[in-house]
Structure 1
């Protein structure tokens, strides 16, 4: 890097060039690309679901935040001492943990003949309190294994069980000022809450402003859910995830076109976070490429 500085290149310019090159765009041609000139003014926060030990590199690439795991970052197996180290890391790296995935494990059941609501609420209280301490905005409430309805179990009863849990959980989110984002998952991952519409049914039943909707473009693509649903339910959306449809690869690996979904997000004037939640083969290069592709497609949408 010192050699680059001697040639009058800033670190930011160098990393921007690396990102563009990894996206398959010749650096010399970047000024001619439509929409690329606006990328310096790009306001939508883009993050990535990753371990916080990658924070320094992600900040250099231009990511706005990291999205961590509840179990790894807020309630780690190593206990309170590790959590304290995690909090300190945020101050050291100076890139926020905006959100968290993996709220609670599938072994804690929200529906079915044997539920674990008390244990779930205890975990939720600790996670939300610590998320507040870390300055985070939301926790994604996916946990598809927990909410999967057992074969033969009454679906209406399961729905009421889940709503009852959420009605008790939402006041905890309100107390700590951290939003819970209900995440619809595709039908190959769970059999309950598979669309934005079904997520909104739960949100409307809970009726708390700290209990909102997660929009995951990967899951929408997997189940052929229209971008129009984003416009329809835009008032509830607080956070978004993205990955390519076939194998949950990072944007740019297979070349998926996300622009119809981006146009829908623009139509609702979406200003929340957008995280890459992907299956990685080469994290460093795909993270750089993914950021460039998302920015380019957003600019062109």
Structure 2
């Protein structure tokens, strides 16, 4: 019942025409239903051509992004907050142009290491900004997914409890939680309880190994996580993320600290991940039968 997706960085480090062609066709060949595009660099993206290619291949798009320190909705500075809101509004416009129904990621702060806790004023700015952006998302029929990331990538939302608090304060139906097992491994006590806490507020899921390599080659308890998804009847997208210096993205590879080579063959990696996720999802459903 779930749509299985793959991050575009498994295939290419930019969104030029030839790269998008590879991203979409290889994703289809590996059996994916969805491709997740990071909107960190739109300089080469042809929105119309990309949408046409996706539709031609029967692949759905999803979009993700983080904010920058000079465009951060958790800042105390209103000018910086305004730039963050503008960046999110632009991302919604691009997502709509591509035909995406999801815009996910760290939509509440800059992507990077902070050196102090977020202030009370900054938290208020997050809530106010997300209310405004969620209204725009609703008009475009796009769901926003607040990705819960680790302490080294944000100082605002690091746990499911914190994300649920933000959702309650914003109070927008088009705002959901985006769980990522890679980040959960750092910040959560287990992989089952947070999923249950989300319940129907869970809208998007990232699957990735603890070292960002081949699924099953690390130590993460995928069985527990997939059983939790089955327990709550989750039917949303499940997207595979993996990064290696075999595919280098200008800027984003540095932001993600991709310093070593975890794989060379993107197709072998993605093909393996597609079957791995399907097997775990099927086993979890059968286990509840």
Whether 1:100 and 2:63 are equivalent positions in the alignment is yes
* Secondary structure class of the residue paired with 1:139: strand
Matched, 1:90 2:54: yes
1:185 aligned to 2:149?
Answer: yes
Once the two structures are superposed, the pairs formed by residues 142-161 of structure 1 within 5 Å of their partners are 142-143=106-107, 146=110, 151=115, 155-161=119-125
TM-score, L = length of structure 2: 0.79
Q: CA deviation at 1:86?
A: 2.2
Q: Which residue in the other structure is 1:114 paired with?
A: 77
Q: Verify the 8 A CA contact 1:234 1:268 in the aligned structure 2.
A: yes
Question: Hey, what does 1:229 align to over in structure 2?
Answer: 194
More helix by share: 1
The question of 1:70 aligning with 2:39 is answered yes
Superposition pairs for residues 1-301 of structure 1, below 5 Å?
Answer: 43-50=1-8, 51=12, 52=20, 53-72=22-41, 76-78=42-44, 82-97=46-61, 99-115=62-78, 116-143=80-107, 146=110, 151=115, 155-226=119-190, 227-245=192-210, 247-254=211-218, 256-280=220-244, 281-282=263-264, 283-301=266-284
The alignment's TM-score, normalised by the length of structure 1, stands at 0.76
1:295 offset after TM fit, Å? 1.5
Distance 1:144 1:202 in 2: 10
Per the TM alignment, residue 159 of structure 1 is displaced from its structure 2 partner at its CA by 1.2
Distance 1:174 1:46 in 2: 24
Relative to structure 1, the CA distance from residue 151 to residue 106 in structure 2 (aligned partners, 3 Å threshold; closer, same or farther) is closer
What corresponds to 2:260 in structure 1? Answer: none
Distance in 2 of aligned mates of 1:47 and 1:269: 18
- 3-state SS of 1:287 partner: helix
Structure 1: stretches of 5+ with no match in the other structure: 1-42
Q: Deviations over 1:4-43 (max 9, x none)?
A: xxxxxxxxxxxxxxxxxxxxxxxxxxxxxxxxxxxxxxx2
Structure 2 CA distance, aligned partners of 1:296 and 1:165?
A: 39
Q: CA deviation at 1:158?
A: 1.9
Range that drifts further, 210-219 or 110-119: 110-119
Cα offset for 1:179?
Answer: 0.7
Please say if residues 33 and 58 of structure 2, whose CA atoms lie closer than 8 Å, have aligned partners that are also in contact.
no
Tell me how far apart the structure 2 counterparts of residues 188 and 71 of structure 1 sit (CA, whole Å). Answer: 19
Task: Give the whole-Å Cα distance in 2 for the aligned partners of 1:163 and 1:117.
Answer: 11
Whole-angstrom distance in 2 between the partners of 1:257 and 1:55: 30
State whether residues 74 and 109 of structure 2, in contact with CA within 8 Å, keep that contact through their aligned partners in structure 1: no
TM-align CA RMSD: 2.3
Shift of 1:148: 6.6
